[in-house]
Amino acid sequence: MNDLYSRHRGVLPDWLALYYDEPLEITHGEGRHVWDSAGNKYLDFFGGILTTMTAHALPEVTKAVSEQAGRIIHSSTLYLNRPMVDMAERVAQLSGIPDARVFFTTSGTEANDTALLLATAYRRSNTVLAMRNSYHGRSFSTVGITGNRGWSPTSLSPLQTLYVHGGVRTRGPFAALDDEAFIDACVEDLKDILGHTRPPAALIAEPIQGVGGFTSPPDGLYAAFRDVLNAYGILWIADEVQTGWGRTGEHFWGWQAHAQSGPPDIVTFAKGIGNGMSIGGVIARADIMNCLDANSISTFGGTQITMAAGLANLTYLVEHDLQGNARRVGGLLIERLRSVAAQLPGVREVRGRGLMIGIELVRPGTDEADPQAAAAVLEAAREGGLLIGKGGGHSTSALRIAPPLSLTVAEAEEGAAILERALRSTY
Ligand code: PMP
């Protein structure tokens, strides 16, 4: 155990999990690459969704942050804050929600917590619909709506949550259905739930489940749900913490794959939009946002420094059409990985959109999830100089690929070659 790791173990919670048998200390980054404390260089195929949406050490963001740090970082709750207003206007305009209001937080968990506060207050109900296999955070309220119970440190919740089918159909009774039959079955499930409960406040869902393994429901699922929800006045909260800002290539927001239903009532976002600075937030229709009697919710959301980073990052990603880049480079990467998968019996499926790609691993010749193989591929990829993620439903058997959105074709090729070697050495 290296010295930093033993100090980490000595003072931080036991449940603060780390990747790799020998955990990495990342010391610096540039573009799509990072370096560890031993001087090893890695292509980063996971940091794009965690923190660094655009590129590591993007000069535009670094400059905006250091200039703002040299000027002022102060309260957003008591005084006017120009960068926060500028950022809110950009986000509202990009959201597609008419008369949108934006509230900034410091994390996705806090954003979802605020969305639940709004929805339950607006509807005077603490019953919430959430998707099986979902992940929305680990605070007291978001644990309750996280369908993937393996991620829940407690079974207690301030909410009554009802879990709906639809987020994933890799296995189980729905696996054999085509898209249309799957949507019909999920809608029937939703109607069945609603027939036996007092009307819930909202349905919260990730357009593509992130921690759940980058599973994509068929286009139109949430539009079909929406018709049912509207009949009861139930709100739709789209958790875009992983799917927003062009990552899926085809759309700026993940919910747009279900656009027949119009924009959601509430959208939450976080992670990479600050390119490493902690920004989360909620976008909601004005009548919903303004239904609370609150002075604010917490001190730090929307500080000048995080907003300066967010504005610089957002400007860069829109001006450089990184959504288009995600579509083009992600499309090539998915194709390349599918051709590798076709030769390997342990790879059941390569799925996803844009630069959000999941690879489902099974024990060869069976349909059984293979979390050991996923862990082995993660280690082998690291040995080869590539960082990837893992995730999945009740077993962590999917690899997750989410590079910064500025990934080049050459880097996609290089990463795919390393991953191919890691897969072949495992199977
Ligand atoms: N929602 C989704 C879809 C997420 O993937 C995550 C984080 N994995 C969260 C919410 C929570 O965000 P944070 O970790 O910033 O609190």
- Report the complex ipTM: 0.99
DSSP secondary structure, 303-337, as one string: -HHHHHHHHHHHHHHHHTTHHHHHHHHHHHHHHHH
Instruction: Please state, in angstroms and rounded to a whole number, the distance separating the CA atoms of residues 387 and 389.
Output: 7
With 0-12 CB in 10 A as exposed, 13-18 as middle and 19+ as buried, what is 220? middle
Query: How many angstroms is it from 14 CA to the middle of ligand 1?
Result: 20
Query: How many angstroms is it from 69 CA to the middle of ligand 1?
Result: 26
Instruction: Please state, in angstroms and rounded to a whole number, the distance separating the CA atoms of residues 100 and 119.
Output: 15
Query: How many angstroms is it from 240 CA to the middle of ligand 1?
Result: 9
In the chain (427 residues long), the average pLDDT of successive 10-residue segments reads 90 92 96 97 95 96 98 89 97 96 97 98 97 94 88 82 90 88 96 92 97 91 95 97 97 92 94 96 97 87 96 98 98 98 95 96 92 97 98 89 98 98 95
Query: Beta partners for 43?
Result: 33, 386
Q: Which helix (H) or strand (E) holds 371?
A: helix 371-384
Q: 136: Cβ below 6 Å to ligand 1?
A: yes
Instruction: Please state, in angstroms and rounded to a whole number, the distance separating the CA atoms of residues 323 and 406.
Output: 9
Q: What is the pLDDT of residue 17?
A: 85
CATH number (3.30.70.20, 3.90.1150.10, 2.40.50.140, 3.90.1720.10) of 3-57+321-426 reads 3.90.1150.10
Amino acid at 376: A
Phi, psi at 272, each rounded to 5°: -75, -5
Secondary structure (3-state) at 231: helix
The ligand 1 atom at the shortest distance from the C-alpha of residue 112 is 10
Instruction: Please state, in angstroms and rounded to a whole number, the distance separating the CA atoms of residues 31 and 201.
Output: 42
How many CB atoms neighbour CB 394 within 10 A? 13
Q: Which helix (H) or strand (E) holds 356?
A: strand 356-361
Q: What is the pLDDT of residue 116?
A: 98
Q: What is the pLDDT of residue 298?
A: 86
Q: What is the pLDDT of residue 197?
A: 87
Pinpoint the residues of the chain covered by CATH 3.90.1150.10: 3-57+321-426
Query: How many angstroms is it from 138 CA to the middle of ligand 1?
Result: 8
Q: What is the pLDDT of residue 276?
A: 95
Q: 355: Cβ below 6 Å to ligand 1?
A: no
Q: Tell me the best of 242, 243, 273 to mutate to test the pocket of ligand 1, counting ligand atoms within 8 Å of each CB and taking the most.
A: 242
Q: Tell me the best of 49, 135, 138 to mutate to test the pocket of ligand 1, counting ligand atoms within 8 Å of each CB and taking the most.
A: 135
Q: What is the pLDDT of residue 167?
A: 85
Pinpoint the residues of the chain covered by CATH 3.40.640.10: 62-320
Residues 352, 254, 278, 25: what is their CA dihedral angle, to the nearest 10 degrees? 0
Query: How many angstroms is it from 414 CA to the middle of ligand 1?
Result: 29
With a threshold of 0.95, does the pTM exceed it?
yes
Q: What is the pLDDT of residue 1?
A: 67
Q: Where are the beta strands (DSSP E) in 64-132?
A: 100-105, 127-131
The first and second tokens of residue 364, run together, are 């060869």
The residues, ordered by sequence, that sit 6+ positions from 7 with a Cβ below 8 Å of its Cβ are none
Query: How many angstroms is it from 137 CA to the middle of ligand 1?
Result: 5
State which fold the 62-320 domain adopts. Aspartate Aminotransferase; domain 2 (3.40.640)
Q: 137: Cβ below 6 Å to ligand 1?
A: yes
Query: How many angstroms is it from 71 CA to the middle of ligand 1?
Result: 31
Q: 209: Cβ below 6 Å to ligand 1?
A: no
